[in-house]
Amino acid sequence: MPKHKIGINTICTHIGEIKDEQFKGAVSPIYVSSSYEFMDTETKRYPRYFNTPNQEHLAKKIAALEHAESALIFGSGMAAISTTLLTFLKSGDHIVLQQDLYGGTRNLIEEQFDNYNISYSFVKGFDIQNFEAEIQSNTKLIYIETPSNPLLKIIDINAIAELAKSKDIVSVIDNTFASPVVQNPIDFGIDIVLHSATKYFSGHSDICAGAVTSSQHNIDLIWRLAKDLGGSLSDFTVWMLERSMKTLAIRVKAQQRNALKLAKYLNKSEYVAKVYYPGLKSHENHKLAKHQMNGFGAMLSFELKPNLDASQFLKSLKLIKPSMSLAGLESTMLLPTETSHALLTQEERKNQGINDNLIRFSVGIEEEKDLINDIEQAIKYIK
Ligand code: PLP
């Protein structure tokens, strides 16, 4: 590759390709061996050691996309998250986390961490002072997700990274919602970037995978636990993921173009009470989003007016699918009160600003006018 900084579509298409020296095929061959010739204890290859040819090569693409030195690919986003957290947290340690995290991560903390004698504080608020106030002498890790789910709040990534550095704490971000096309937290000083690769990396709603990127030093530490916990991804799926990631940047850019148009459309609709999208000038953190994001991503949320039944609205859609997951190239919507935030009490949801008419919208690549038509026909049906 040339020495100049290569563009994101070139990274997506070419970095980490395995050259087919034998037959000169255009795409990476799949190496499915679970047994490789023993060379020495340092270099032995094995799928659970995260170092088969397909795993090693695709990890290079993921690291390049996140401007990181190194990466590991896991069998799910949660495998990447749990392995990373347990690498840096030991019995007696404390972790500071943003309040509204992905439910699975929150569940891992609340259900499991007591068993490991790891204490935790969820931060109420999104300002740096709110995070600082929760730091204790035994705090070892700060964990954020921005934009947040489902209200698309924005946290100052650089301020978090600086705070963590000043206290010798490891900073970690789940960058799933944005994707590396839209946000590169390592450029803002964050130590470790996590992904549910099930989402934008896959993009076609047919792969479950995860990834972590960081310095080589941190990845070596994570690898030591990763090989013991055993959450590697099969080489068939790694190969599928490489195929998907070739179009990551063009997909996400098309999705976020649509998202901005849909956010503007919903913002003007007489049936919508509020739109949450960092690309709107009215968004409370629009300036910060502009500073730390490259575009504003393809996730948004909106509240229907109180006289409209949001559940009925979702059932009346014909093109947009009601779906738990996100980031596929097909548009999906869900009600956080019935899905991701169903386990919270009404009071807890109210405190987080999540009401019964809030709809989370993962915007896909369909034509803007078709998405708008679908929303309009569903509203006509329920009003
Ligand atoms: N992080 C975020 C933001 C997610 O939305 C999800 C899944 O929905 C995860 C992590 C967990 O990823 P996975 O389902 O691949 O384990």
Q: Quick one: which atom of ligand 1 is closest to the CA of 176?
A: 3
- pLDDT of 216 strictly over 60: yes
What dotted CATH number matches 248-382? Answer: 3.90.1150.10
The structural domains of the chain, with segments of one domain joined by +, span 3-245, 248-382
**Which of 211, 214, 200 has the alpha carbon at shortest distance from 256?**
200
**Which pLDDT tens digit goes with each residue over 155-201?**
999 999 999 999 999 999 999 999 999 999 999 999 999 999 999 99
CA of 306 to the centre of ligand 1 (A): 30
Fold of 3-245: Aspartate Aminotransferase; domain 2 (3.40.640)
Average pLDDT over the chain, rounded to an integer: 95
Q: Stretch 60-79: mean pLDDT, rounded? A: 98
**Given 36, 46, 48, 305, the catalytic residue:** 48
Q: Stretch 34-55: mean pLDDT, rounded? A: 90
**Given 61, 106, 140, 199, the catalytic residue:** 199
CA of 128 to the centre of ligand 1 (A): 25
- Ligand 1 cavity residues, CB under 6 Å: 76-78, 102, 104, 145, 174, 176-177, 196, 198, 208, 210
168 is catalytic: no
Q: Stretch 227-247: mean pLDDT, rounded? A: 98
Q: Stretch 12-39: mean pLDDT, rounded? A: 95
pLDDT-based confidence at 1, cuts 50/70/90?
very low
Query: The pTM is what?
Result: 0.96
The per-residue pLDDT for 3 is 56
- pLDDT of 27 strictly over 60: yes
**Exposure on the CB side of residue 292, measured as CA atoms within 13 A:** 25
How many CB atoms within 10 Å of residue 57?
Answer: 19
Q: Which residue has the higher pLDDT, 371 or 39?
A: 371
Fold agreement between 3-245 and 248-382: no
**Which pLDDT tens digit goes with each residue over 70-127?**
999 999 999 999 999 999 999 999 999 999 899 899 999 999 999 999 999 999 889 9
CB 206 within 8 A of CB 227: no
- Can you point out the beta strands (E) in 45-157? 70-74, 94-98, 119-123, 139-145
